[in-house]
Amino acid sequence: MSEESYLFYQSRNPRPFLDRGEGIYLFDESGKRYIDGSSGAMVSNIGHSNPRVLEKIKAQMDRATFGYRLHFRTHPSEDLAAKTVAMTPDGLDRVFFVSGGSEAVESAVKLARQYALTQGQSDRYKVISRFPSYHGCTFGALDLTGYDPLREPFAPMLEGMPKIAAPATYLDRDNLSEEARGLKYAELLRDKILAEGPDSVLAFLMEPVGGASTGALVAPDSYYGRIREICDEFGVLLIYDEVMTGAGRTGKFLAAEHWGITPDIVVLSKGFGAGYVPLGAVVAGKRLVEPILDAGGFAHGFTYAGNPLACAAGLAVLEELEDQNLIANAATMGVVLMDELRALMDRYPFIGDVRGKGLLTAFELVSDRDTMEPLEPRLNAYDRLVELAYERGLIIYSRRTRGGTAGDHFLIAPPLIITEAQIAELMSILRDSLDAFAAEVGL
Ligand code: PLP
């Protein structure tokens, strides 16, 4: 094998070749073992190489790998849609399949727009989202993303959809209670709708628990209900981006369930196909979908949408979540992991905050815990700690919070099959890595 790589991604790829996966572990070609402490990019929810899932995928491969959805209905896609509806709250009962998160976000927004047209609301086209946030990298999804390093190169090509601040209450130094802070951030949406003109606002898009851009940011409880009320007040559709939080990661099938919220539209990907196949979904109420179908159909679709191989894999993943009781495990192990991460704050004064829900957790490094002043950018903490952990056989995921300009946070989001003993193993490597980082940068 030549040393030259003909591939390019965000950067040159110095990583070793992957050999195989097994449960929460990945192995490179030298035989070195890694704990997949971030499930890749919060994808591999049921762990790697699950034999039952592989069997079901192979069985579908033997029958048909592709049948175009306009030529045939397929049992895997119908069955996966039915299972998805059964696992989501009442009122979300129609499903549209795609192959990834950005496609799902784009599809949700186009669904919202077409629904508005059926209601005679052709002026509604603005989608308000939050800053920071991440909703994908295609142009439409990128315009809804609040993350500067990804937006800047393409800024002149983006429409510039309105944004409100994400509820990063851990940075606030006011005297408000958490409940009052939640309401304060929710009111930003009302203010923005009024400023934009309510008749022009189509939807509000949010990650119920922030992902890569905010580092597992959870809003105060009061935020969620008030956002729903505000959307209802103005007839604005509420879209939950559950690409990262969905399929059980936070300890419920949808994170929305923690607050008893039924969004108008939900988008899923990542854990929904769990890394076995590229898969995503838009789930909405028939209240939205039926008028579109009556008016001639949804003017949107991808070639690979709903293909039987991907859907068979997705169905096998959801069956695994149920059969192994993995959503409950995410809730239980999430508490164990969160306690362990909080305990790190006693040992490392440069950890400013620990947050998350279920097995979507994060910690943020700071130079001063009281002021939450970020670490100096020259320390390159978000790269260095990841490297030190990688060397020690632990994969974690890092980003810069605060819109991508400052604030190093690290996501710990292992597969939902993780056990308490494996969490202890993960934490031991993480502590070693933090020790090495502290020594290296003199903290
Ligand atoms: N939405 C959220 C919340 C995400 O975390 C991501 C990916 O990280 C996306 C959308 C985009 O998904 P994809 O990378 O599959 O296009």
Cis, bond preceding 132 (omega within 30 deg of 0): yes
Pocket test for ligand 1, best of 102, 147, 150, 207 (most atoms within 8 A of CB): 102
Looking at the CA of residue 207, tell me the nearest atom of ligand 1.
3
At 282 the three-state DSSP class reads: strand
Would you give the DSSP letter of residue 23? Answer: B
Supply 186's token pair.
């929710």
Percent of the chain at pLDDT > 70 equals 100
Q: Tokens 């628990």 belong to which residue?
A: 209
Pocket test for ligand 1, best of 127, 134, 213 (most atoms within 8 A of CB): 134
Q: Residues lining ligand 1, judged by CB closer than 6 Å?
A: 41, 100-102, 105, 134-136, 207, 211-212, 241, 243-244, 269
Q: What separation in Å is there between the alpha carbon of 135 and the centre of ligand 1?
A: 5
pLDDT of 49 over the 60 cut: yes
pLDDT of 320 over the 90 cut: yes
pLDDT digits (tens, 9 = 90+) for 209-250: 999 999 999 999 999 999 999 999 999 999 999 999 999 999
pLDDT value of residue 9: 83
Q: What separation in Å is there between the alpha carbon of 150 and the centre of ligand 1?
A: 13
* Residue 4's pLDDT band (cuts 50, 70, 90): confident
pLDDT of 342 over the 90 cut: yes
What does the alpha-carbon distance between residue 361 and residue 340 come to, in Å, rounded to a whole number?
11
**Domains (range + CATH), the chain:** 18-49+325-441 (3.90.1150.10), 53-323 (3.40.640.10)
pLDDT of 364 over the 80 cut: yes
Q: What is the mean pLDDT of residues 167-185?
A: 96
pLDDT digits (tens, 9 = 90+) for 84-110: 999 999 999 999 999 999 999 999 999
pLDDT of 12 over the 80 cut: no
Looking at the CA of residue 269, tell me the nearest atom of ligand 1.
15
User: Which strand ranges, in their side-by-side order, compose the sheet holding 18-22?
Assistant: 18-22, 25-28, 33-36, 394-395
pLDDT value of residue 319: 98
Selected residue with higher pLDDT from 5 and 153: 153
What does the alpha-carbon distance between residue 382 and residue 406 come to, in Å, rounded to a whole number?
10
Please work out, in degrees rounded to the nearest 5, the angle formed at the alpha carbon of residue 16 by the alpha carbons of 14 and 18: 135
Q: What separation in Å is there between the alpha carbon of 139 and the centre of ligand 1?
A: 13
At 210 the three-state DSSP class reads: coil
What does the alpha-carbon distance between residue 386 and residue 428 come to, in Å, rounded to a whole number?
15
pLDDT value of residue 2: 55
- Contact status, residue 111 vs residue 266, Cβ threshold 8 Å: no
What does the alpha-carbon distance between residue 284 and residue 261 come to, in Å, rounded to a whole number?
13
Name the amino acid, one letter, at 17. F
What does the alpha-carbon distance between residue 425 and residue 419 come to, in Å, rounded to a whole number?
10
Residue closest via CA to ligand 1's atom 12 equals 101
Residue closest via CA to ligand 1's atom 15 equals 101
Torsion, Cα 248 249 255 258, to 10 degrees, reads: 80
Pocket test for ligand 1, best of 106, 135, 142, 360 (most atoms within 8 A of CB): 135
Parallel, antiparallel, or unpaired for β 163-165 and 360-368? unpaired
Other CB atoms closer than 10 Å to residue 89's CB: what's the count?
18
pLDDT digits (tens, 9 = 90+) for 136-165: 999 999 999 999 999 999 999 999 999 999
- Contact status, residue 101 vs residue 280, Cβ threshold 8 Å: yes
Selected residue with higher pLDDT from 405 and 35: 35
Other CB atoms closer than 10 Å to residue 93's CB: what's the count?
18
Residue closest via CA to ligand 1's atom 5 equals 244
Q: What separation in Å is there between the alpha carbon of 317 and the centre of ligand 1?
A: 19
pLDDT value of residue 402: 80
- Within 8 A by CB and 6+ apart from 63, the residues are 308
pLDDT digits (tens, 9 = 90+) for 249-299: 999 999 999 999 999 999 999 999 999 999 999 999 999 999 999 999 999
With residue 111 as reference, give the H or E element that holds it.
helix 101-118
Q: What separation in Å is there between the alpha carbon of 183 and the centre of ligand 1?
A: 27
pLDDT value of residue 155: 96
Looking at the CA of residue 136, tell me the nearest atom of ligand 1.
11
What does the alpha-carbon distance between residue 199 and residue 189 come to, in Å, rounded to a whole number?
14
Looking at the CA of residue 105, tell me the nearest atom of ligand 1.
10
Pocket test for ligand 1, best of 44, 145, 209, 270 (most atoms within 8 A of CB): 270
* Residue 77's pLDDT band (cuts 50, 70, 90): very high
Q: What separation in Å is there between the alpha carbon of 2 and the centre of ligand 1?
A: 33
pLDDT value of residue 240: 99
What does the alpha-carbon distance between residue 443 and residue 439 come to, in Å, rounded to a whole number?
7
What does the alpha-carbon distance between residue 89 and residue 180 come to, in Å, rounded to a whole number?
28
pLDDT of 1 over the 60 cut: no
Q: What separation in Å is there between the alpha carbon of 206 and the centre of ligand 1?
A: 12
* Residue 406's pLDDT band (cuts 50, 70, 90): confident
Parallel, antiparallel, or unpaired for β 201-206 and 126-131? parallel
pLDDT digits (tens, 9 = 90+) for 105-144: 999 999 999 999 999 999 999 999 999 999 999 999 999 9
* Residues 192, 209, 286, 306, CA torsion sign: positive
Residue 187, Cα to own-chain centre: how many angstroms? 24
Q: What separation in Å is there between the alpha carbon of 260 and the centre of ligand 1?
A: 24
Q: What separation in Å is there between the alpha carbon of 180 and the centre of ligand 1?
A: 30
Looking at the CA of residue 102, tell me the nearest atom of ligand 1.
16
What does the alpha-carbon distance between residue 398 and residue 395 come to, in Å, rounded to a whole number?
10
Q: What separation in Å is there between the alpha carbon of 41 and the centre of ligand 1?
A: 9
Selected residue with higher pLDDT from 347 and 1: 347
pLDDT value of residue 5: 84
pLDDT of 351 over the 60 cut: yes
Q: What separation in Å is there between the alpha carbon of 404 and the centre of ligand 1?
A: 16
pLDDT value of residue 285: 97
Supply 344's token pair.
């790190």
From start to end of 109-208, where are the E strands?
Answer: 126-131, 163-165, 201-206
pLDDT digits (tens, 9 = 90+) for 427-442: 999 999 999 999 999 9
Q: What separation in Å is there between the alpha carbon of 251 and the centre of ligand 1?
A: 19
- Contact status, residue 359 vs residue 270, Cβ threshold 8 Å: no
Angle formed by the axes of helices 326-347 and 308-323, nearest 10°: 70
